[in-house]
Every structure is written in structure tokens, then in C-alpha cells.
Structure 1
Amino acid sequence: MKFGEQLQQEIFPPWRLSYISYDVLKHELKTRQQDHAWTADDESEFVKKLENELEKVYDFVTAKLGEVEARISYCERTIQTFISNPTWSSDQNWSIMDDALTEVLFDVNDLAKFTRLNYTAFQKIIKKHDKWTGLSLKQDFIPQLRTKPLDKQRFDVAIVFISALHDLCKYRGKPRPSSTFGDEEYNSSVSDEKNTSKYWVHPDNITEVKSIIMLHLPVFIHNKEKRYEASDSTVSSVYLDNEEFSLYTSLLQRDEGAESIRLKWHGPLTTPDVSVERTTHLAEWADGNSIKERFQLTTDQVQSFLSGSLSTDQLCNQMISRGVDNKLVEECRFISSGIEESIKEKHLQPTCRIFYNRTSFQTPENAGLRVNIDNELTFIREDNFGDTVRRAPDEWRRSEVGIDFPFSYLDESEVLRFPYAVVEVKTSAATAESTSWLRKLLDSHLVHEVPRFSKYLHGASYLFRDRIPLLPWWMSEMEIDIRRPRATNFGLTRSKSFKPLIDGQYKRAMEAEQLRMDVVNEAAQDPLHSFLDTDPAASSSNWENRPHRMRSTLVTKGEDPLNYGPLHERKIKKKDREAGNLGEDINFDHGDIRLDMATDANNTSEKKMFGKDGMFVKDPNNPNAVIPVKKVKVEPKVFFSNERTFIAWLQFCALLLTVALNLLNFGDSVSRIAGGLFIGIAAIIAIYALYQFEKRAWMINRRVVGRYDDLWGPAVLCVLLVGALIVNFYLRFR
């Protein structure tokens, strides 16, 4: 699809006039070149129009961001009023505020898509300009894009505030249950790689993924003593390695005891504390588990520790003098001594810096589930390999490199900007089975799974590709488009009236559906009661959630008349019928179905009667009960699906027939025998496919409730093909 068509399809109608006039700019390029060659005046006028469009889009985004901030502030003040005045703290008021926050969240998501789409449009139109005119506007227009950067619009702060307020609404202003669980970023831990999965997210979908997760998990904030700022999400890490890249090679080959060592800090360069971390894969002292260890240093101590002038004993003595607990001192001694030994023996030095903005989602009271999203991922060279000096001798990191993404002042050979966001999901076994919304997200079109993805391995394999012979397996994934079309209603969408839809439903409908599913799950413990419910609506919902039946349960003539009748809430005891106690007419009402069942004292079998729908099916959970069958219209796509299945079988027959004809025409006697076998198999398959096609069409036309899958066809086909190959092998081998 051309970008112009894509832009028209993805435009949010209420904001249509605020988008870039892509078609107008494209038409301007074409018409001017049709009349005459591109001149300096044409270039000047086109640049003015482009700057005007950029200013229009940027001003709209800025105004909308201000509006979002004002609405969040209003919700915050209102919630504080609810907390301070219990008379206002009703469930209805909390629900209204929660709905208002959901509206704001959807606007943030729409604004992120608006910004991304317009930024892509500017890139496309500039590229077309350079291609059609032969000029280089891309380089000349960079200053304007930097003054009004659409690629740096940040929505994380708004999502964090919405998450905090949404959490207050969920708990009606009360704090969440307290927990002793701390931030895993600052505590030693054993990591289980089996319960950690990693995914890539395209920039078009980042805000939507964050919003979906936020509706189920709150944003985890490490420092709650200060108001959240954009710089609080920045994370920087300097990885150590040597000129032979021995750590890189061991990690890539997943050797036993392979380790990675990094220096990590949050926020700007002025952050006083730096975390020294070592991750060891299949560590012997951890029973073969992968373990992550860390201890803290001040910024001034890092260079001394790397150079060896600050030993482990000196570091521990300083901790003891500050009154640190002996247990923590001994733990630090063990970790520090191991890292110190690796630095000396392997001649490690700062090699690569990795920068990203991290948003973490986790409930403080539950350590079983944590989701990290790292976007604006950037890799920067920190090495002094060869004759190039990037760090001063007394520095352990480049002082001129801060947290100002996209680091446009760096040479392109020293920086790599990763095009996707990285999602890391850490779950326990129990949480993984119970979190259905997370499974839906990870199976959706919004994410692309990349098992065992490593930031350091990816950055080093690109920045030092001349020195490294081995590359990670996922490098080939960089050549494909990870975006997929939306296959289901999953995600955040808008209705025709632009009302927020979550997974294709209004929020209230989602809550009602969740409540209904909880009731169904509870009733599943008593199957008979669940299908003999007095509430017609409940019976209908139960019918929709019935398990697939392995055989047709439609009632046909000649069967016991008990198979006909409505679903009734009162069981007629078998002994009463046998005793002949039903001598009168009994009227049963169920929904819009009414059936008169006449009985006789001398005849215990009921006469056959029909309700309005005219057809019922047996209840597999109760032999004496039946279920009304609703007449439904068969959609044309059902017939087309049957036809596609038939055509797929014929395609395989054609392929097999082509092979057979080649063997017959160009082979020896053995090949002709194999060709004859393949022709016979192809003919059998074609006839069988036609039979199945006609049978399914007959069942669809008559609404037959039965099996539409094929039990024997694929199995027999495999047996025939394997038999033909065995015969061919035997004849050829002989």
C-alpha cells in the first residue's frame, strides 16, 4: 500500500485538519516539475510550505499535550477531594473518574499515533523531494526538525500519572496492600530464563502496548519521594569487555559460566550512585542457575575500582566505617572480589554504552509478574581500542555523552539507534497460567517475539562488526517488517461515535463480561445446575459456552419423544413418571418457548410436541434434558471456507501429479512404477476431496450440528505417501 493511502486510512477523523497536507505537498512537487525544471524559487516555496506544515503539526501536538496535562490535573484534584471528603466517595463517582481517565488514556494513545504518523509523513515527503529534484533537503531540513522534534514527543509521563490515578480509583482512594518486595533492579537475584520472554514492538504500537498493560498493572516507580519526571525513566549501562571480545563470545555461545559485567545508573550523569552488576549464566555456585549480582559504588569510586587502586578490602572497610550491616558487607565482598578478579584476569575495560527509557509495570504486592518496556534504545561506543581515544585516561565513561536522545552530535559510526522497543516479561509459573490478558497481548499483532535477545550482543555485533566473526541469530529479523495486520478486536480502538473500545467492547461491557465469566466458572463445578438455571439470560450464556460435542446431537424421527421439549428448571423425577403420577397437563414456560406436554396415567411416555423454534438437542450433561437450537443465518464465508479447503487439496493433487508425470516421461522402469503409484494416489485424493466438499456443503445447508474436521483423510494420505516412497526406495535399492 502506498503511504498516501495508508495515511488516509489511519487518520483520526476529529483531528483530520491538523495532519500534514501530504497530498498537497506531493501534488506541489509533481505539478511544478511538469511545467518546468525545478528552480531555486520552487525550492524556497516548497520549504516554506513544509515548515508551515511542521509548525502546524507541532503546535497541535503541544496544545493537545497541554490539554492532556490539564485533564490529568483536574482528575487528580477531584480524586483528592473524594479522599478528603468521604461523603463524595461513592462507587458511582469513582467509576465516573475511572471512565474520565480511560478517555484521557485513549487520547494519549491517539496523540502518539498522530505524532508518529506525521513524523513518518515528513520523512516520506522529504525523501520524495530528494528523489525527484536531485537536491538534498534531508540534511538541510534537520535544524527545523530538531527545533520542533516530532520523534521526541514523550507520553510516558502522562501514562505514569494516569496509572497512579487509575490505581487510586481501583482501590477507592485506599493505598495498595503493603509489600516487602523491593525493586529487582537494586537487589541480588537469581534469574530464571525459562520464565523470561523478550519481544520487539514497532514504534507505531509502543503507546498502545503501554496503555493495555497499564489497564491491568500499575507503573512501578522506584523513587516515590519525588514527583515523576521524564529523566527518571532513563537508564544507562556501560558494558565491559576486552579487545578479543571474550565475554561477548562466551555469552553468544552460551558457555557455562559466561558472564557479563556492566556499570549501570538511572537518570543524568550527575547521579551519585552507580550499580556494578554481573550476570553469570549457569553459575556453579548457584546450582547451574543464571544469577545476577550487584553492589553499589559512588561515581568517584568507579574509576578507582576499575583501575585496581580501590580494592575489595578497602571498599568493605569503608562500608563497615559507615555502619553497614555485616551480612551486606560480606555479600558485597563476595560479589566485588569476583568482579575484581575478572577485570584483572581478562583485562576488561569499558566497551559499549547502552541507553534506553524504561517503563516498568508491576503490582507492589505481587513479585510474580513484571513487564519492562525499553524504548529509544541506543548503543554508543565507549572503547579506546586501536588508535582512537574516546575516553580520557582518568574516565570510565564518555563525559560528553548524556541522556539527550537521539545523540545527534555523535558520529554515525559510533552510535546505533535501535528501531524498536524491547519488552521483557518476567513471570512465575503460577502467574503465567492465570494471566489471560497477558497471553492475549503476547499473541497479538502488537508484539514480535525474539527469544534470548540481548542488548549487549546486538550493540556489540553492529558497532564492532569488523572485530567480531560471530553474529546473533536475530540479526536476520532486522530485515523484515515486524508489523502485522490487526486480526482481532484486541487492543484499543474507537467506535463509530469515537467512544473508547477495549478489545472491541465498551469498558462497562468488559467488566460485565468478566463478571459473567466468573459466574460461569463457578457454575462449572455443578454442570447440571448451570444448565438448569431459572434465568433465561443465564441459560443463553451457558449455551454459548457449552463445550464442543464430538457427535451430532440433533434429534431425528423415531427417537424417544423425551428428546423433544424445552429446557426446564424443575426436574421431573423418573420415579414419578414410572408411578403414573402425571395425569394432568403440565405447561412449561421458558423464555419465548411454550410447550404443552400431555401425559397419561397408563402411559409414561410423553407425546411429541414442538415449541416455537421447532428443534431441540440433547443435553450431554443430563439425559432427560434438552437444549433449544437457535436458527442462525449461515454466512457466505462458511461456504467459501469449505471451498478453500477443497481447492487446497486439489493444489496438493496437482503438485503430486506433476511429480508423477515427470517420473513417467523422463525416468527408467523404477521411476515409472513410482510415477504410477503417485498418479493413483493423486486420483484417490482428488475423489476423496470432492466427496468431503459435497458432504460438508450438504451439512452446512441443513445446519447439521456435527463434526466438520477430517479424522481419516490426512492420516490415510500420509500412509499412502510413505508407502509409495518405501516401494520406490526398495526398488531403487534392489
Structure 2
Amino acid sequence: MVKFGLRLDQNKSNEYPPDAYVDYDKLKEIIHVLAKKKLAGADVNFREVSLTAPPPTNAAGRQLTAADSPITEEDFYNCIDSNLSKVENFTLQKVTDLRSQIASLEKEVNGVSVDDEKAKDAIRDRTDEAAKAFLTLEKYVNINFMAFHKILKKHDKNLPAHACKQFYINRMHNQAWVRGDYSDVVVRLSSIYSALRNDHTAEENKDAAQSFLRSTTKYWVRTEDVSKVKYAVLKHLPVFLQKTSTGESDSQLTNSVYFDNDQLELYHGRLDKTPGAIAFRLRWYGAGDPKMVFFERKTHRDTWTGEASAKERFIVDESEVKAVLNDQYPIEQKRAEMKTKKGATDAECDDWEKLVREMIQVVQVKQLVPTMRTQYMRTAFQIPFDATVRISLDTNLCMISERGYDTEGGAKWFRDPDKPLSPNEITRFPHAVLEVKLELGGANSEPPQWVTDLQNSGMLYEVHKFSKFIHGCAVLMPEYVRSVPYWIDDASIRNSILNSGGGRILVPVDHQTGVGPGANEMYNHLLPFGNVKDPKLETKGRTANTISLIETSNKTTGANYYADDDDDNIEMMMGVQGCCEDTCAGWLFPFCSGYNTEVLAPTSVQKIEPKIFLANERTFLHWLHAGVTLYTIAAGILAFASESHSVGAHWYAMALLPISLGFCLYALHLFLWRAEKIKTRVPGRWDDSRGPLMLGSILAGVLFINFVMKCREIRRFNEIMSHEL
């Protein structure tokens, strides 16, 4: 069995000296000494104390003194405290130095000439160094963060009577080096790169409907890779800050309230990808109560029809939301204001009015009510007012149930944020969500090369058609859903689903056996990879070690991707000269530097259209037709061959018969093989380059032999005729 863990290359040097890390060896030695003494904990049942009673004694009846116990539990606590302070001070010092370095770069970039490419290249190199220094610091923080978790767990495991992990974990999470937000570094780096690229802001689109067509690809990003992904993107796109943003952070709080009816009609329509299925939501940006609210409608359309899914929206003031939902919105008055105050054309007003009336109608007809809310911090990368290429990264994602509260007849459209939520009313998603959005119909419909490089970097995990709305409804309302999305069986999100009380969608339990096949077995018609639960385990490039690690993880740790008691790995991180590399060995290893495993790129999902199935059937019929034709020829030769030529003709016909049978069997095999490829959408070639070559070569060989035999017969016939003459 391959042991899960983090192996580091000892031949590579750390960026920071070993004494900057947690002194893991010393803490572990203290635990070993205390564990050998088998210290007893205080008796919690004793509620009285005597000031004249003697102190506790050991087994020999002698009093325990400081000399008998040179290392005490207090030494462990003091060592933990000193290491926490050391890591915090080191981190803050590095951040201070980094901010000073960025400030110097900002001054230089403001004074550089636009045409001075040499100076710009020098500044760009120094900016790259500053960005890599920040990523190195984050790596340092993650290593120490994991080390504290492991040493505290080891302490509680060996000394259960003196458990202290929960106390110190809570204390660590409140320290600046863990809870600090240093996203201002990302914003300032983005501004420097944007100035070096000389980005031009596009003209603002004042279309009231703000409708546009775009294609979106979604990925999961591990928390420890968020900064790396941000750096990879901001080198090419600037951080897009909303007008309400203070500029101190690269992200903005985003809330979206999704509407649905009691039957979850919109949920099941979006899940089944029914043509014309819609998602209806109200969105606002920024913390606090909403001021400007976006009414948005997303419509799904199949790409094979020649149409693209669309997102349409219009903006209203928060005080007007209830009027829109209750069909009391003054459309004619707002239309007149658009023409007089904003100078909108009649066509723009018509489009806006049509959209508003359609949205009001769908709320009334389908009886939509607030159902589920998504909340996250969104970092958008985009040239302002230019939707050609846009990338958004959503972190701290959570879904909140909007059901179960009194709407007061439509007077309220989202629950009171001050009221506490029960565990089954909120689910926190463990990964960040990256969306790559490309405008359709423009010159840049294909992703640029740097986007392709990012997709193949190993930091992204593509999740085809992932939806926050669908995930939230499935987890928070499992008793109302009739089917669930395919990604809920992913081991990395299993704990978050269980913590929210959505375990019933993971393993449907048989009441007789007490076990179930799993949700993906029950809803395999929704899987994008057919019956393959994890297609990336079987695709080209996956090593045996990686597969073993995945199996070990699923059986032992569930969503935990590294062993809990791998002391050797932590010691390498803390004390031995070993450091993490920028590249990661696939999705499994958070700090996996130096691990002797092939770097794995995420597998893209192939797009499927109905005409592909028809093409497969057409190819099957072509091969079958060729086999039947050969059989007909062979049967005709056997039936009509003359007596004088019966031997050669019969051998020729008997040679064609198995070839015709081979054509028919190959047609059936190729049809079934390609149908499975199409169903599972496995990347790679879907054609067979060897089968046609083999069959064609055999047929050509038989024809050549027949040709040679016929030539010999003609030659012999000519010789006979010449002798007779």
C-alpha cells in the first residue's frame, strides 16, 4: 500500500532558513517524553480541595517534585506559544518588506515612458520576483499551518487527558498570519502589470438590458492554489474592481437569491439541461443591505441547435424589488424615464420592456419564491467594459436556504441576515470556483494561449456545467429533489455535504441491506462521463501510484488528501533542506514538491452533439454494407463458377467469405466502442487507425493473389494456344 503523504526533495534548498519554521522535532520530543510518563489528568469529579492535605505521590509513595519531572505539560504549551509568535512575526515582517518593494515598483512604473521597452522589461522582471516571493511566503504559511495541526493532533492522541488541540487551533485561526487578508498585494501587482501592458479601457456599455452571449467553463480550485491562479491571471488581465469597492481588496461580496417554486421546477430543468430551462435570481454586490439589485435570467440552449445560452438582466432600486415581484412595477413610467434621462433609443426601450414583462410573467405564472441564496467573495479579472475575455474567481463560497421564513405576502425577498442559521440551512463549499467566460460572436471566441496554459497547469479541476444553484438546492433540500448532479460523489466535497445534513443524496440506503450503491449509480444518466465515476483515473497519464493514492484516500480519509501521522514528511518540511516547487503533482497533493510522480493536467470534457451519434450509426452502416457486398460477391462466385475453373474460383470465394464476416464483426465492434467513447466523453482520438489498415491489407492480399493466379492462367492459356497453332 502506498502511504499518503508529502515527500520533499532533500537536495533542494528552502527559501527561508530552517529556524523560521515550526520546531517540529522539539515539540515531538516533548510529547514522547510526556507520553512515557503516562501523566494522569485531573479528576474532574473532585470538587473540593484541602489546603492542609499533602501533594500527590507516585507509585513509591514519594511526593512528586520538579526534579522528578524536568519536562512538564507547561513546557509543551510554552513551546507552542513561542512557535506561534515566531511564525506570526516572520510572516508580518516578510509582508512589510514585500509591500515596500511593491511601493518602489509603483513609483518606477508611473515614471517610465510608454515606449521604453527595456525599462518596462526590467520592472516586469522585478514584479515577477515580488509575486513569486509572495507565493513563497504563502507556501511557508501553509506548511507551518499544517505542522501545527499535526503536532497538536499527535499531542492529543498520546496525551488524551491533556487535550488542547481545539484551544490552540482556535487561537491560531485568530492570529494575523492566518486570518490576515493580504489581497491588497494582488491589487497592486495587478495595477503594475496593467500599466506595463498599457491596457486600454473600453467604452462603457449603457444598454439598459445589459444582455450578452458568452460561453463559460467552470473549474474547482483548491484553497492553497488560489493565489497561484490569481497571479497566473493578473499577468494578462487586470483585477476589475466595482465602483463601490474601496480598492483595498481584490474581491467583493456577492449575493444571489435564486427563485423557484414548491416543485423545484427550475432546479430540475437546469439539472436536466432542458432546452429553454431558466434560472431566475436577484443579485447585489457589496456588504450590508442591497441598494441596487440586478434581476437576472439565464436561459439554457443546446449548442448543436446553433444557439447559445444567454444571460439577460436589468437593474432596479432595492425599494422597487417588491413592486416587480408583485406585478406592480410602473413599466411605462420607467420607459419614459429611460428615453428622457438616459437617451435610450426606441429599440433599446422595447428590448428592456420585453425583458421586464417576461420576468414578471414567469414569477407570476410559475409562482416563484425565494429558494436558495449563494454568497461568496468574487475576484473579477477583466478590462473594464470589455467582455471579450473575463475570468472570475469565487472564494468563501456558501449556500444558504431561503425557505422556511415568512415572506409576509411578498414583502420580503431574502431572510434576515441577523438571525442565526441552523447547520442544515447553510453549506460551505470547500473549493474556490473559477469561471472562464468568452464572449460569443466576437473575434476572440477561442481562448487565448495563456488561458489554455492555465487550464493545463494542474491547478484547475474542470467540473462540466457546475452550478452553485443546483449544488445548494441538492444539499440543503435533499427531500425535495428527484435527482442530483454528478459531482456530489466527489470525495473532496463529501464532508461539507455531511456537515449540512445532505448525506441522504450521497448514499441511498437500502432498508434491507443497510447500504446503497451511491448517488452516481442511481443517477448515472446525469453523469457527463457515463458510468465512469472518476474518468481521470483511467485516462492516459495517470500513474499507478496516483491511482493507489486515490483508492487509499477514499477508503481511509474521505476528503483528506494526506496522512494524519506522516511525521517524516513534516520533519522534512520543517528541518531538512527541502522546499516546495511551483508545480504540483495533480489535484491530490497540496504541497507535493519533489514527489516522484508525473505532473497531471486536468482532462477537458468533450462537447457532444446529436449528430455525433448519427455519424457513428452511419459509419456502422457503411462498414456493414462493405461486408455484405463482399459476401454477395463470394456467394455469386460459388454459385456460378464453371466446372473448369471450380477449384480456383472456390478457393477465391472461400477466402472472401471470412473477410466479409470480419468486416461485419468489425463494424459492430467499432460501433459499440465509439458509442461508449461518445457516452463517456473520454478525451483522445475516437477513431481506429489499425482496424481498417488490417482489413484493407488482408483484402488487398487476397485480391493480389487472385490477380497473380489469373495472370498465370492467361499465360498458360496463351502457351497452349500457341502450341496448337
Which residue in 2 is equivalent to 1:13?
A: 15
Which residue in 2 is equivalent to 1:464?
A: 477
* Aligned mate of 1:70, from 89, 94, 100: 100
Which residue in 1 is equivalent to 2:128?
A: 102
Q: Distance in 1 between the 2:218 and 2:16 partners?
A: 36
Shifted more, 341-350 versus 149-158: the winner is: 149-158
SS in 2 for 1:297: strand
| Contact 1:183 1:222 (C-alpha < 8 Å) held by counterparts | no
Q: Are 1:191 and 2:217 counterparts?
A: no
SS in 2 for 1:208: helix
The change in CA–CA distance for 1:30 and 1:256 in structure 2 (over 3 A counts) is: same
| Contact 1:115 1:153 (C-alpha < 8 Å) held by counterparts | no
Which residue in 2 is equivalent to 1:426?
A: 437
The change in CA–CA distance for 1:186 and 1:317 in structure 2 (over 3 A counts) is: closer
Q: Distance in 1 between the 2:75 and 2:478 partners?
A: 44
Letter in 2 for 1:121: A
The change in CA–CA distance for 1:480 and 1:356 in structure 2 (over 3 A counts) is: closer
Q: Distance in 1 between the 2:369 and 2:171 partners?
A: 39
Q: Distance in 2 between the 1:7 and 1:203 partners?
A: 23
Q: Distance in 1 between the 2:696 and 2:158 partners?
A: 57
| Contact 2:127 2:189 (C-alpha < 8 Å) held by counterparts | yes
Q: Are 1:180 and 2:180 counterparts?
A: no
Q: Are 1:144 and 2:155 counterparts?
A: no
Q: How is 1:363-512 mapped onto 2 (pairs within 5 angstroms)? A: 363=383, 367-384=387-404, 394-400=411-417, 410-427=421-438, 431=444, 435-479=448-492
Q: Distance in 2 between the 1:478 and 1:320 partners?
A: 54
SS in 2 for 1:125: helix
The change in CA–CA distance for 1:219 and 1:719 in structure 2 (over 3 A counts) is: farther
Letter in 1 for 2:15: P
TM-score, scaled to structure 1: 0.57
SS in 1 for 2:123: helix
Shifted more, 710-719 versus 455-464: the winner is: 710-719
Letter in 1 for 2:203: T
The change in CA–CA distance for 1:56 and 1:244 in structure 2 (over 3 A counts) is: farther
SS in 2 for 1:302: helix
The change in CA–CA distance for 1:21 and 1:301 in structure 2 (over 3 A counts) is: farther
Letter in 2 for 1:31: V
Shifted more, 239-248 versus 25-34: the winner is: 25-34
| Contact 1:217 1:361 (C-alpha < 8 Å) held by counterparts | yes
Letter in 2 for 1:108: F
Q: How is 1:470-619 mapped onto 2 (pairs within 5 angstroms)? A: 470-479=483-492
Q: Distance in 2 between the 1:124 and 1:59 partners?
A: 21
Q: Are 1:266 and 2:292 counterparts?
A: no
The change in CA–CA distance for 1:373 and 1:16 in structure 2 (over 3 A counts) is: farther
SS in 2 for 1:264: strand
Can you list the C-alpha shifts for 1:208-252, whole angstroms capped at 9, x where unaligned? 1221222233333343x9751227522221111223211111110
SS in 2 for 1:39: coil
Q: Distance in 2 between the 1:256 and 1:454 partners?
A: 17
1:112 is displaced (CA, Å) by 2.3
The change in CA–CA distance for 1:365 and 1:321 in structure 2 (over 3 A counts) is: closer
| Contact 1:51 1:144 (C-alpha < 8 Å) held by counterparts | no
Which residue in 1 is equivalent to 2:324?
A: 305
Q: Are 1:338 and 2:358 counterparts?
A: yes
* Aligned mate of 2:226, from 182, 206, 210: 206
Letter in 1 for 2:210: N
Can you list the C-alpha shifts for 1:279-305, whole angstroms capped at 9, x where unaligned? 111399x98532211111122222343
Q: Distance in 2 between the 1:273 and 1:26 partners?
A: 55
Which residue in 1 is equivalent to 2:192?
A: 165
Letter in 2 for 1:100: R
The change in CA–CA distance for 1:66 and 1:290 in structure 2 (over 3 A counts) is: same
1:157 is displaced (CA, Å) by 2.5
Letter in 1 for 2:21: Y
Q: 5+ residue gaps in structure 1?
A: 403-408, 488-496, 505-709, 721-734
1:7 is displaced (CA, Å) by 11
1:4 is displaced (CA, Å) by 7.3
Which residue in 2 is equivalent to 1:254?
A: 273
Can you list the C-alpha shifts for 1:592-627, whole angstroms capped at 9, x where unaligned? xxxxxxxxxxxxxxxxxxxxxxxxxxxxxxxxxxxx
SS in 1 for 2:490: helix
| Contact 1:4 1:23 (C-alpha < 8 Å) held by counterparts | no
The change in CA–CA distance for 1:308 and 1:199 in structure 2 (over 3 A counts) is: same
Letter in 1 for 2:481: I
Letter in 1 for 2:218: K
1:151 is displaced (CA, Å) by 5.0
| Bigger relative contact order, structure 1 or 2 (CA pairs below 8 A, ≥6 apart) | 2
The change in CA–CA distance for 1:300 and 1:129 in structure 2 (over 3 A counts) is: farther
Q: Are 1:234 and 2:261 counterparts?
A: no
SS in 1 for 2:141: helix
Letter in 2 for 1:452: K
Letter in 2 for 1:444: S
| Contact 2:15 2:136 (C-alpha < 8 Å) held by counterparts | no
| Contact 1:257 1:281 (C-alpha < 8 Å) held by counterparts | yes
SS in 1 for 2:365: helix
Q: Distance in 2 between the 1:158 and 1:478 partners?
A: 33
The change in CA–CA distance for 1:367 and 1:302 in structure 2 (over 3 A counts) is: closer
Q: Are 1:61 and 2:61 counterparts?
A: no
Which residue in 2 is equivalent to 1:691?
A: none
Which residue in 1 is equivalent to 2:635?
A: none
SS in 1 for 2:457: coil
Q: How is 1:670-689 mapped onto 2 (pairs within 5 angstroms)? A: none
Letter in 1 for 2:458: H
| Contact 2:209 2:352 (C-alpha < 8 Å) held by counterparts | no
Aligned residue pairs, count: 484
Q: Distance in 1 between the 2:94 and 2:234 partners?
A: 21
1:346 is displaced (CA, Å) by 2.1
SS in 2 for 1:277: strand
Identical amino acids, percent of aligned pairs: 26
1:150 is displaced (CA, Å) by 5.0
Q: Distance in 1 between the 2:75 and 2:121 partners?
A: 52
TM-score, scaled to structure 2: 0.58
| Contact 1:32 1:38 (C-alpha < 8 Å) held by counterparts | no
Letter in 1 for 2:474: S
1:450 is displaced (CA, Å) by 1.0
Letter in 2 for 1:426: K
The change in CA–CA distance for 1:383 and 1:712 in structure 2 (over 3 A counts) is: closer
Can you list the C-alpha shifts for 1:453-512, whole angstroms capped at 9, x where unaligned? 11111122111123223110111234489999999xxxxxxxxx99999999xxxxxxxx
| Contact 2:393 2:433 (C-alpha < 8 Å) held by counterparts | yes
Which residue in 2 is equivalent to 1:29?
A: 31
| Contact 1:235 1:357 (C-alpha < 8 Å) held by counterparts | yes
1:317 is displaced (CA, Å) by 5.9
Q: Distance in 1 between the 2:446 and 2:25 partners?
A: 49
The change in CA–CA distance for 1:486 and 1:78 in structure 2 (over 3 A counts) is: farther
Letter in 1 for 2:423: E
| Contact 2:395 2:431 (C-alpha < 8 Å) held by counterparts | yes
Q: Distance in 1 between the 2:241 and 2:356 partners?
A: 28
1:365 is displaced (CA, Å) by 8.8
SS in 1 for 2:417: coil
The change in CA–CA distance for 1:459 and 1:377 in structure 2 (over 3 A counts) is: same
| Contact 2:388 2:444 (C-alpha < 8 Å) held by counterparts | yes
Q: Distance in 1 between the 2:429 and 2:473 partners?
A: 12
Letter in 2 for 1:400: P
Which residue in 1 is equivalent to 2:513?
A: none
| Contact 2:256 2:284 (C-alpha < 8 Å) held by counterparts | yes
1:206 is displaced (CA, Å) by 1.5
Q: Distance in 2 between the 1:68 and 1:230 partners?
A: 16
SS in 1 for 2:282: strand
Letter in 2 for 1:158: V
Q: Distance in 2 between the 1:59 and 1:411 partners?
A: 37
Can you list the C-alpha shifts for 1:516-545, whole angstroms capped at 9, x where unaligned? xxxxxxxxxxxxxxxxxxxxxxxxxxxxxx
Which residue in 2 is equivalent to 1:120?
A: 146
RMSD: 4.5
